[in-house]
Amino acid sequence: MSRWIITLIIASLIFFFVEFYAFQALKTVTKNKYIKWIWIIVAVVIYVNLFYTVFTTPRSAGQTKGFQFAIGFMLTFLIPKLVLVAIMFGEDVVRVIQKIVSNFSSGETKPLASRRQFLSKLALGLAAIPFASFLYGIIQGRYNYKVLKYQLSFKDLPEAFDGLTITQVSDIHSGSFTNKEKVQYGVDMINKQKSDVILFTGDIVNNKAEEMDDWIDVFKNLEAPLGKFSVLGNHDYGDYIQWNSKEDKKNNFQAVKDIHPKIGFDLLLDEHRYLEKNGEKIAIVGVENWGKGFNQSGDLKKATAGMEKEDFKILMTHDPSHWEYKVKKDDFNYHLTLSGHTHGLQMGIEIPGFFKWSPSQYVYKQWAGLYNEFGRFINVNRGFGYHAFPGRVGIWPEITVIELKKDVKHA
């Protein structure tokens, strides 16, 4: 209990510091007491709701929608205030420096009130940008599905599979969904790609199999003529909540695995399948979760037992750190790896084809999009669903379509 009390005290001090400096900007711009009281009341309600939700939600419940929205609204109001803090606290530092300098010089310090007011208005204007972005991210951004298309060429791709199209979907996190119509829109968008194969790269739930109950009838309508294949993600193992018994956790894990055939997916648990066409074949390899700092159940050797090194391979592994630490240099040669997991942290700045940034990149070397090393590719899907924060800001939910081509020039 003492650990929670210390955490509460530290968090309260941080929040108080942020709120104090943010409020200074408001006070400088307006003298209206009603606006000030609304500001204070909203802040108090958000923090009280956050602490109440955190300390009253049992660990056995997992990450509830109430918890997600408590976090969501806290971030929506807190992050813009960090902009205010950076400017107002920075201006105070400048004031102190100027005061010290003036004490050692004969000159007089010029009045700073007008500058303070200008900076307060500037800070509030800049803070409005992330505030509006986070509101949009919660209301609409989490369902703002984007289709990203790539064409990849391989000299050793069997000719029969020249032009094969793959749709990758990842990180459904069904326990977070709230709008069936929007999710159905996303599923319809997947089907509109008319890909030959659909590959799902893990995290079908947040924690519990029952989270998928209301969504099976939606996702079972996904269509792909050459098959639908899937793997597990770190959340599918039920490791992030407290179970009443080991047996309950075991039963839940089996129920999660049973979801996949219910929606027409062939779940690969350290296994592979061959797609055959005109006497030629390529391999779909699927491993259990392997992640740096996470569950490391995946076994590449087991998954490829009986395969030849020369086989063309598409590997599904949930966590891209698996590719970084184990796959990309493997002599067995995995031509294309498909991962998810990072969500691009669900927030960042991205101008397709020109620029992308997210705090996620400081944790994962491959965090979103297509990467190529040693002539081998990995695509990190930004995720179909969302988790923890109930929205997406700048990093939109993704449906990836990859077309494989025979590189005849270098064959």
Question: Three-state secondary structure along 29-57?
Answer: HCCCHHHHHHHHHHHHHHHHHHHHHHHHC
pLDDT of 2: 66
Top pLDDT among 90 and 82 is at: 82
**350 touches 394 (CB < 8 A):** yes
**Mean pLDDT across 158-176:** 97
- CA neighbor of 399 nearest in space, from 177, 166, 129, 60: 166
Calpha distance 284→274 (Å, rounded): 6
Confidence of residue 317 (pLDDT cuts 50, 70, 90): very high
- pLDDT tens digits along 356-389: 999 999 999 999 999 999 999 999 999 999 999 9
**404 touches 162 (CB < 8 A):** yes
- pLDDT tens digits along 262-314: 999 999 999 999 999 999 999 999 999 999 888 889 999 999 999 999 999 99
Confidence of residue 107 (pLDDT cuts 50, 70, 90): low
Looking from the CA of 400 toward its CB, the CA atoms found within 13 Å total 26
pLDDT at 99 over 90: no
Domains and CATH numbers, the chain: 2-139 (no CATH), 146-406 (3.60.21.10)
Amino acid at 115: R
pLDDT at 108 over 60: no
Mean pLDDT estimate for the chain: 92
Q: Give pTM, 2 decimals.
A: 0.91
